[in-house]
Amino acid sequence: MRPYQLPDTATPVDETFTVMVDDSSLATPEKLTITDLTAQSEARATAVANGAITGSGLDAGTGAYTPDDTTNYIRTADFVTAGLTASLFNADKLLDLKIKQTQNIGSKYYTVTLTSSQILNLKATPILIIPAPGVGYFNHVKRMFYKLNFMTTAYTLPGIGTFELYYDSGTCPLSQIEYSFLSGTATEISYNNAGGQCEIFANEAIYLKSTFASELTNGDSTLSLIIEYETLADFSVISTPPVQANCLQYFSGTFVNADLTALGNLEITHNLNSDDIASLVIIDNTGTAVAVTFALGDETGANTLNVITVPIGLGIAGTWTYALIVNIC
């Protein structure tokens, strides 16, 4: 059918709609479907989307992601330390961790009031106080304030014990409420600084637990807590501070009646692991500065990072002094 032979009645447009293409060079008309017409634009859109997903253009259009070792938080070592592959997504995660670390510096406060039912069942059911902070972080308790809101009946204690804050896996108390306070007969406020040296558990919640042999009984008062704490970055995600501009290290020593090498050279071992020697000064036994040149390494050129060779050409009598300034960055 030629285009001029198409019916006057419109055909609804759908996925099967076809366009007739007629040309004098064609033996018969050809059909183009909607798919034919949109294939190229869809291919281009797909390529753009895939490029965004794979990171095309981040590294000269290759799709690879190369960490920038001149930066502070997206270096190769940072990915390795965090156990992440080098990708744009993981670079964002590293930066997010650093932002979180910066924002979390300083004290925070968590408040909660325990009901009498929670107090009477604390031995069997510890109470979550501070949630886990996330991978790469730990909560540090600084101190705990607490208030016994006395009602009508004091708690009966099953011997001596305490209510204490613990990491979920920990056995060392971070802060505690003494038994004498818990058996009080009046409303009272007190506090307890963080306990002594305790093992820290990264990404663990902190609970209030009972150390009594059994549950408290009879009491009907509530117990309010204010926990002062801070969330800090675990050592695994703390980035090494950027190298400061001043990286010069001073090194000095003396030679007393020193023997030179067979070639008349003086070899100085400084062990600073750097071949960037900023300056060298040698003072002879009369207090006179000796004009010197030097080469890196010993006479064979080995260990250039820790040894320099100075051609003296003369025997050394008495005490000679030398001083080095080395750039160790």
Considering the segment(s) 108-233 as one domain, its CATH architecture is Sandwich (2.60)
The whole-number pLDDT of residue 108 equals 82
* 243 has pLDDT over 80: no
The overall average pLDDT reported for the chain is 78
pLDDT higher at 100 or 206: 206
What pLDDT, in 10s, does the model give residues 181-198? 999 999 999 988 876 788
Q: Which residue has the higher pLDDT, 214 or 268?
A: 214
Most confident option among 34-38, 53-57, 241-245: 34-38
Per the document, the length of the chain is 329
Does the structure show a pLDDT above 90 at 125? yes
Q: Which sequence spans correspond to the domains of the chain?
A: 3-53, 108-233, 248-327
Architecture field, domain 248-327: Sandwich (2.60)
Q: Do domains 108-233 and 248-327 have the same CATH topology?
A: no
Tokens 């366009």 locate to 19
CA pair distance 175, 195, nearest whole angstrom: 5
Is residue 159 very low, low, confident or very high in pLDDT (cuts 50, 70, 90)? very high
Structure token digits, residue 187? 């409303």
Rounded to whole angstroms, how far apart are CA atoms 178 and 12?
83
pLDDT band at 231 (very low <50, low <70, confident <90, very high): confident
* pLDDT score of 299 more than 70: yes
Report pLDDT for 316.
Answer: 81
Higher-confidence position of 62 and 142: 142
**Reported confidence tier of residue 60, pLDDT bands at 50, 70, 90:** very low
Instruction: Determine the pLDDT at residue 61.
Output: 41
Asked if the model's pLDDT at residue 73 lies above 90, the reply is no
Judge contact between 164 and 198, C-beta under 8 A. Answer: no
Residue 216 has pLDDT above 70, yes or no: yes
Q: How far apart are the first and last CA of the chain?
A: 81
pLDDT for 177? 93
What's the whole-number mean pLDDT along residues 243-247? 56
Rounded Cα gap, residues 314 and 77, in angstroms: 48
Higher pLDDT, residue 41 or 172: 172
